[in-house]
Amino acid sequence: MIKKAVLPVAGFGTRFLPASKSIPKEMLPIIDKPLVQYAVEEAINIGVDEIIFIISPEKYSIRKHFEKNEIFESRLKNSDKTEMISKLNPEIFSEIKFHYIDQEEQNGLGHAILQAEKVIGDNSFAVLLPDDLFFSEESCLDQLLNSYKKTNSSVIAVNKVNKEDIHKYGVIKPGDIKNNLIQIEDIVEKPSYENAPSDIAVCGRYIFKPSIFKFLHLTNFDNSGEIQLTDAIKVLLKEEKVHARIYEGEKYDCGSKKGFVHATIALALRDESISKDIKEIIKEII
């Protein structure tokens, strides 16, 4: 039902300098898998078969990561490490069409999504921001897909955050709430503590109807020279219902150092091959 997903990966990643000087932030690994691969797998697992990266030329390593590597594969074969081939060239990528569209200037998330308009055409589509990492039995995108099927509207993943952190996020003003589904009345980008309409913040997963493009085109650059996705949603809300789905599960903001380390520890404790040792190490450190 949702066959196309947009992954904006063209941002500067300034919070991860100096690492992000030569390595795209989205290629930083949590244990042994780059952040961007977790997001691509999440999309494929709901049935997506076209992945559209909004990228910049210096982030070519993302492209390389999703291409088949025959030379490395034959090296693994020759050195009797054939069991690693499925990690190198995962089978699930073989049927996927990957698109790479350059965002020539980093003019914000809204501007990045706008670059995908031609490839998306008249289809509803998913957007995944790879620096938000989610862990739950039913994936975050799957939860959104179920809500999309129920409402036939654009749906945004949200979660509650501490009011002290509210200024870092897009924040919704909730209308009707039924179970996990909220009808959005309004949305504001990075409000101050005093002006925040709620403590319900937007996370990095969305399903949009193609009408979002009309509103992205109508959105002006803000004071910092960016086209904000939040501003486009704000206007979309005047014409269409948009819902927020309260995400159930773990979420790590890997665009920040704290979230990145948190995710690394949480995943290490889940990884059977190292969890026992890591627990010991943590005990020793404490």
Applying CB under 6 A, the span of 3-11, 94-102, 192-200, 263-271 interacting with ligand UTP comes to 3-11
- Going through 103-162 in order, the beta strands assigned E by DSSP cover 125-128, 132-135, 154-160
- Please enumerate in sequence order all residues whose Cβ is within 8 A of that of 243, keeping only pairs 6 or more positions apart, or say none: 147, 151, 153, 154, 155, 156, 181, 182, 183, 184
129 contacts ligand UTP (rule: CB under 6 A) = yes
HSE-CB for 233 with a 13 A CA cutoff: 28
Q: Which of 149, 131, 145, 191 is nearest to 48 (CA)?
A: 145
In the shown chain, the binding pattern of residues 28 to 67 toward ligand UTP, with x for contact by CB under 6 A and - for none, equals --------------------------x-------------
State which residue, 59 or 209, has the beta carbon closest to ligand UTP: 59
Using CB under 6 A as the binding rule, the residues of this chain from 98 to 127 that contact ligand UTP are: 103, 106-109, 111-112
Shortest Å distance, C-beta 120 to ligand UTP: 15
State which residue, 13 or 191, has the beta carbon closest to ligand UTP: 13
**Helix, strand or coil, per DSSP, at residue 75:** helix
* Cis status, amide bond into 8, omega within 30 of 0: no
User: Nearest 10 degrees: CA dihedral of 244, 111, 168, 124?
Assistant: 20
Using CB under 6 A as the binding rule, the residues of this chain from 206 to 265 that contact ligand UTP are: 255
Shortest Å distance, C-beta 241 to ligand UTP: 25
Interface with ligand UTP (CB under 6 A):
8-15, 25-26, 54, 103, 106-109, 111-112, 129-131, 255
